[in-house]
């Protein structure tokens, strides 16, 4: 479509009439946004949830498409198959605003719902009904998050969703669209800021000479032209010697990256590592040469950009403890120790440099963010910000969105006789990633502190496990112990575990073969066996 | 649109709109306690009563909808009734300030000049302790308006709280008499935020005087926990330089005052003793040691410079973070590109 962001706004969810939530456990990962989904359903909207687990939202859903992990492309192509078979597509939208539709038409012919039922486990009738309801409702919105993207076929999955949205013309007006729910508080801002090897700030091209010149003039320095490494390439680079130095900001790759033992071994080879963080963590305690004490969100000025592209102000409420400094000051001080001669005095100075260089943000300035944040694109000081994207036509160059035909690729690791269970991972309401913050909140961890995994009653009984029994989960890469939680949320053959527990890191088990284009790890599908501990 | 009169004045309203909202928009003050614009009309406490011509008895403005030709009177007899109803609530209201939260009933009583004529002999209700560390409930402050229960049912759509018992035994309890930790309760604190009398209150750290509440300094900011970007107020005690609690406001977008358990309660990490307070440099002994900023910056710069000199700029990788601000991430990629000379800047949020 031409933009890396949610198309529509959070308040518009109230007026959705149909919601497809796929690969998003919204009530736990985005609890307050989920309140709007609950409200829409209470007001009569139809909710369809596609997820391998019986997550909370399935309680209020009209239908639960309980697909096997990693079979999203099959499910989505089959939904499109029905739409085209029954002529439910929006021909006018396709003709006026898209290109390459025919390629998708050809491919989805090969994905009939009956065969999809065998591949995904979702009844063909449910696929047909979902296709009909979605195509018929104007105010129909799609929501997805890491259940779609934490796969080796992440990009395929997102393209499939994009194809579905485009062929039904669900784009360019309120209460519709394709909405990626951003997991962390500032994923959107991090990407907007250009902290990515493949583009400059504001998603601007690293290879366009005019753009590069603009940055070089403002920065008084060359923009390197050698392609950079993604995180997964940096980790493999630690092993093969391409990467010798690391600068780490508030990250804990020894916990959060897949195949964590392998990551640990890589980190042991690093020649020099500098980090800035609130706490010591597994990565810095053992491997950092210098650690700068940094600031929490309550101790600095700046902005976070939320999942609806809204730039919101972060304001300083407290001084940092001891001699800890704001992270941006640390970066400035470090750059100046390298002789950079940076002059920034406030966070606003930094924002203004970004906004001056990035056309879609140039209208956003701190004085306009006092009462309520602004949504990009916002191209000049009179621009009110953009509630939804792709209006009146797709924002892609040329004004046409592109269809990408997608074929199903099975997950990298399949269960077998030695490792018969599919392990999927995720987060829970009560914790946050490696839980460096939330495990330090006793009032909250009271609700959930011991490592656990979810298993079906049938599998538990076959293994002789009772509720709360300690079991050992073993993969080709590692093992851990956790309590069995017997639940209807997972079906026989599937187990699920959260990533939050330092003493039982699920990433000891996960594999590290990611998406070939963008490197996203396949946290959602690994093969494990389970033993009584 | 319909036309109706309020105290003799003709005004316009949308048919079916709740009177309490029509009145507020036209600058007419009618107090409410059990009403919440987020929740279905309830009409429980009745302190918002008005008279409608032709109606057999006064009606609650929070549960009566605008219709053509209505003639509404908000003063006179309705005003007296409101004072009487307020006095009735006060006869059972033994504790006005359990956790130091604002109490709308007390505010209303002051405004109307209402005082409890007596205290009902059976006003005292059985308290209970819950083992959760975040919230408490004092039945002596509760007016049984049911806002908390309705919030859990209508907004959260769970069955965390119930109204239990009748008459003098009535109180709010966790469903099935379990602990709040064992029900469907997600500890979002929505009940706390809608309670008009502070009967549901935060459990503060030991020794925190409840009356300090009024001196808290609110700083509006963005929550740090997920991509929704809820707008929150950090309530800071300037004497101790600590966040005491987190609140939000129904006027804030996109969350309209709602929060989750992390946004409302997981702020103590900011004050945790494990926080790093001084720069650390790894010594000859292999351990990290506290040192000065000057020294740490020099060691860090020298270390990475040496790596660059030995192996070239491509040998250094930068990991930015979605935890940090936009401005900080912009600087980190600038540090990588313009100062070190590599495009290798990425993060674990590669989705």
Out of 3.30.70.20, 2.40.40.20, 2.40.70.10, 2.30.42.10, which CATH number does the structure's domain A421-532 have?
2.40.40.20
Residues B50 and B173 occupy one common structural domain:
no
| CATH assignment at residue B134 | 3.30.70.20
Element (H, E) at A291: strand A290-293
Residue B98 counted as domain residue: no
pLDDT of residue B258: 98
Any residues with CB less than 8 A from the CB of B233 and at least 6 apart, and which? B218, B219, B220, B221, B246, B247, B248, B249
Does residue B294 sit at the A interface (CB-CB below 8 Å)? no
Q: How far is CA A470 from CA A394, A419, A446, A465, B44, in A?
A: 52, 18, 19, 8, 49
Residues of chain A short of pLDDT 70, as ranges, are: 2, 433-437
Give the nearest partner residue to A307 out of B227, B274, B298, using CB atoms.
B227
Residues B184 and B41 occupy one common structural domain:
no
Indicate the domain borders of chain A: 10-180, 187-375, 421-532
Decide if A10 and B259 are in contact by the 8 Å CB cutoff.
no
Q: Are A281 and A296 in contact (CB under 8 A)?
A: no
User: Which A positions 462-481 lie with beta carbon below 8 A of chain B?
Assistant: none
Does residue B238 sit at the A interface (CB-CB below 8 Å)? no
Residue B100 counted as domain residue: no
Which of B205, B240, B271 is a domain's end point? B271
Reported ipTM: the value is: 0.93
Give the nearest partner residue to A228 out of B133, B332, B345, using CB atoms.
B345
Q: CA-CA distance, B29 to B78, in Å (whole number)?
A: 12
Residues B262 and B323 occupy one common structural domain:
no
Q: CA-CA distance, A505 to A325, in Å (whole number)?
A: 30
Averaging pLDDT over each range in A146-155, A515-524, B206-215, B323-332, which range is the top one? B323-332
Residues B126 and B265 occupy one common structural domain:
yes
Q: CA-CA distance, A122 to A339, in Å (whole number)?
A: 60
Residues B237 and B152 occupy one common structural domain:
yes
pLDDT of residue B208: 61
Out of 3.40.50.1970, 2.60.120.10, 3.40.50.2300, 3.40.50.740, which CATH number does the structure's domain A187-375 have?
3.40.50.740
Which residues from chain A sit within 8 angstroms of residue B182, using beta carbons? none
Residues B44 and B172 occupy one common structural domain:
no
Exposed/middle/buried for B141, CB within 10 Å: 0-12, 13-18, 19+? buried
Residues B228 and B162 occupy one common structural domain:
yes
User: Which A positions 367-396 lie with beta carbon below 8 A of chain B?
Assistant: 372-373
Residue B351 counted as domain residue: no
Which residues from chain A sit within 8 angstroms of residue B151, using beta carbons? none
Give the nearest partner residue to B266 out of A324, A373, A444, using CB atoms.
A444
Q: What is the mean pLDDT of residues B47-74?
A: 95
Decide if A317 and B234 are in contact by the 8 Å CB cutoff.
yes
The helix/strand/coil state of A40 is helix
Residue B216 counted as domain residue: yes
Which of B218, B238, B271 is a domain's end point? B271
Of the two residues B201 and A434, the one the predictor is more confident about is B201
Give the nearest partner residue to A438 out of B187, B262, B305, using CB atoms.
B262
Residue B138 counted as domain residue: yes
pLDDT at B213 over 60: no
Which residues from chain A sit within 8 angstroms of residue B323, using beta carbons? 184-186, 250, 297
Query: Bridge-partner residues for B346, per DSSP?
Result: B319
Give the closest-approach CA distance of A482 to chain B in angstroms: 20
Decide if B269 and A437 are in contact by the 8 Å CB cutoff.
yes
Decide if B266 and A437 are in contact by the 8 Å CB cutoff.
yes
Tokens of A188: 């959107």
pLDDT of residue B98: 77
pLDDT of residue A18: 98
Any residues with CB less than 8 A from the CB of B287 and at least 6 apart, and which? none
CA quadruple A14, A19, A22, A27: dihedral sign: positive
Q: Which domain holds residue B302?
A: 280-346
Where on the phi/psi map is residue B341: left (φ > 0), alpha (ψ -120 to 50), or beta? left
Does residue B300 sit at the A interface (CB-CB below 8 Å)? yes
Q: CA-CA distance, A260 to A262, in Å (whole number)?
A: 5
Decide if A441 and B258 are in contact by the 8 Å CB cutoff.
no
Q: What is the mean pLDDT of residues B167-183?
A: 89
Decide if B323 and A186 are in contact by the 8 Å CB cutoff.
yes
Which of B240, B271, B302 is a domain's end point? B271
Query: Bridge-partner residues for A479, per DSSP?
Result: A474
Decide if B321 and A190 are in contact by the 8 Å CB cutoff.
yes
β B231-237/B242-247 pair status: antiparallel
Decide if B351 and A150 are in contact by the 8 Å CB cutoff.
yes
Residue B94 counted as domain residue: no
Residues B192 and B152 occupy one common structural domain:
yes
Which residues from chain A sit within 8 angstroms of residue B221, using beta carbons? 297-298, 313-315, 317
Looking at chain A, which residue has its C-alpha nearest residue B277?
Answer: A322
Residues B138 and B236 occupy one common structural domain:
yes
Residues B257 and B339 occupy one common structural domain:
no
Q: Is the peptide bond before A486 cis (omega within 30 degrees of 0)?
A: no
Report DSSP state, residue B337.
I
Residues B124 and B267 occupy one common structural domain:
yes
Residue B110 counted as domain residue: no
Q: CA-CA distance, A481 to A470, in Å (whole number)?
A: 6
Residues B300 and B168 occupy one common structural domain:
no
Does residue B119 sit at the A interface (CB-CB below 8 Å)? no
- Residue B108: count other Cβ atoms within 10 Å of its Cβ: 22
Q: CA-CA distance, B11 to B24, in Å (whole number)?
A: 12
The helix/strand/coil state of A46 is strand
Based on the structure, what is the number of domains in chain B? 3
Any residues with CB less than 8 A from the CB of A414 and at least 6 apart, and which? A527
Helix axes A154-167, A72-85, angle to 10 degrees: 20
pLDDT of residue B214: 58
Q: CA-CA distance, A392 to A483, in Å (whole number)?
A: 53
What kind of architecture, by CATH, is found in domain A10-180? 3-Layer(aba) Sandwich (3.40)
pLDDT at B351 over 50: no
Looking at chain A, which residue has its C-alpha nearest residue B205?
Answer: A443
């Amino acid at each position: 479509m031409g933009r890396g962001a949610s198309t529509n706004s959070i308040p518009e969810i109230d007026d959705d009439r149909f919601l497809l939530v796929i690969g998003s456990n919204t009530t736990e990962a985005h609890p307050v946004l989920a309140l709007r989904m609950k409200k829409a359903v209470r007001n009569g909207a139809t909710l369809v949830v596609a997820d391998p687990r019986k997550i909370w939202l399935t309680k209020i859903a009209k239908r639960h498409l309980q697909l096997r992990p990693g079979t999203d492309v099959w499910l989505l192509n089959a939904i499109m198959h029905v739409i085209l078979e029954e002529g439910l597509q929006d021909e006018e939208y396709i003709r006026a605003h898209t290109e390459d539709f025919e390629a998708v038409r050809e491919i989805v012919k090969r994905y009939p719902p009956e065969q999809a039922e065998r591949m995904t486990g979702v009844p063909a009738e449910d696929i047909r009904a979902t296709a009909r309801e979605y195509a018929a409702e104007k105010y129909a919105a799609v929501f997805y998050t890491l259940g779609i993207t934490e796969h080796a076929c992440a990009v395929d999955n997102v393209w499939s969703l994009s194809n579905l949205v485009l062929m039904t013309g669900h784009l360019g007006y309120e209460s519709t669209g394709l909405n990626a729910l951003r997991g962390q508080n500032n994923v959107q801002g991090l990407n907007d800021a250009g902290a990515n090897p493949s583009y400059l700030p504001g998603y601007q091209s690293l290879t366009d000479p005019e753009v590069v010149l603009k940055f070089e003039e403002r920065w008084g320095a060359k923009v390197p032209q050698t392609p950079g490494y993604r995180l997964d390439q940096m980790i493999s680079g630690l092993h093969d010697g391409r990467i010798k130095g690391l600068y780490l900001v508030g990250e804990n790759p020894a916990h959060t990256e897949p195949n964590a033992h392998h990551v640990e071994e890589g980190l042991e080879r690093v020649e020099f590592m500098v980090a800035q963080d609130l706490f010591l963590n597994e990565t810095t305690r053992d491997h950092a040469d210098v650690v700068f004490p940094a600031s929490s969100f309550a101790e600095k000025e700046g902005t976070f950009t939320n999942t609806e592209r809204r730039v919101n102000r972060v304001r300083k409420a407290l001084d940092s403890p001891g001699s800890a400094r704001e992270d941006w000051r640390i970066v400035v001080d470090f750059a100046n120790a390298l002789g950079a001669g940076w002059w920034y005095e406030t966070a606003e100075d930094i924002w203004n440099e970004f906004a001056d260089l990035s056309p879609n943000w140039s209208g956003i300035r701190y004085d306009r963010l006092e009462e309520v944040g602004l949504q990009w694109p916002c191209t000049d000081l009179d621009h009110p910000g953009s509630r939804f994207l792709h209006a009146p036509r797709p924002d892609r160059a040329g004004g046409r969105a592109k269809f990408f035909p997608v074929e199903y690729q099975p997950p990298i690791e399949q269960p077998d006789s030695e490792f018969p269970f599919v392990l999927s991972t995720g987060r829970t309401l009560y914790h946050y990633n490696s839980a460096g913050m939330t495990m330090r909140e006793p009032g909250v961890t009271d609700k959930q502190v011991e490592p656990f995994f979810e298993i079906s009653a049938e599998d538990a009984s076959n293994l002789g496990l009772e509720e709360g029994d300690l079991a050992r989960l073993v993969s080709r890469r590692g093992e851990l112990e956790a309590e069995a939680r017997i639940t209807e949320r997972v079906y026989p053959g599937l187990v699920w575990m959260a990533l939050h527990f330092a003493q039982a890191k699920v990433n000891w088990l996960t594999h590290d073969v990611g998406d070939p284009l963008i490197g996203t790890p396949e946290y959602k599908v690994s093969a494990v066996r389970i033993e009584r501990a | 649109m319909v036309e109706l009169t309020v105290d003799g004045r003709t005004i316009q309203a949308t048919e079916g709109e709740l009177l309490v909202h029509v009145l507020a928009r036209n600058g007419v003050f009618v107090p409410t306690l059990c009403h919440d614009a987020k929740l279905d009309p309830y009409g429980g406490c009745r302190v918002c009563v008005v008279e409608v011509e032709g109606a057999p008895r006064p009606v609650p403005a929070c549960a009566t909808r605008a219709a053509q030709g209505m003639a509404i009177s908000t003063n006179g007899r309705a005003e007296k009734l409101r004072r009487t109803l307020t006095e009735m609530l006060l006869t059972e209201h033994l504790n006005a300030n359990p956790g130091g939260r604002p109490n709308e009933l007390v505010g209303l009583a002051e405004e109307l000049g209402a005082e409890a004529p007596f205290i009902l002999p059976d006003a005292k209700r059985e308290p209970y302790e819950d083992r959760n560390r975040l919230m408490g409930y004092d039945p002596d402050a509760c007016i049984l308006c049911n806002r908390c229960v309705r919030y859990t049912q209508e907004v959260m759509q769970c069955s965390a709280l119930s109204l239990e018992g009748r008459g003098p035994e009535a109180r709010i309890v966790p469903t099935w008499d379990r602990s709040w930790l064992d029900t469907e309760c997600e500890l979002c604190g929505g009940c706390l935020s809608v309670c008009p009398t502070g009967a549901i209150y935060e459990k503060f750290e030991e020794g925190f005087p409840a009356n300090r509440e009024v001196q808290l300094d609110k700083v509006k900011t963005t929550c740090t926990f997920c991509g929704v970007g809820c707008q929150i107020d950090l309530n800071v005690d300037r004497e101790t330089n600590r966040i005491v609690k987190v609140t939000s406001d129904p006027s804030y977008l996109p969350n309209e005052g709602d929060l989750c358990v992390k946004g409302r309660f997981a702020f103590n990490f900011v004050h945790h003793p494990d926080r790093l307070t001084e720069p650390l440099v790894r010594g000859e002994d292999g351990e990290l040691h506290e040192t000065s900023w000057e020294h740490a910056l020099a060691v860090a710069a020298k270390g990475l410079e040496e790596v660059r000199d030995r192996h070239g700029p491509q040998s250094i990788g930068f990991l930015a973070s979605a935890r940090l601000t936009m401005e900080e991430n912009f600087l980190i990629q600038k540090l990588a590109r313009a100062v070190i000379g590599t495009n290798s800047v990425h993060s674990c949020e590669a989705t």
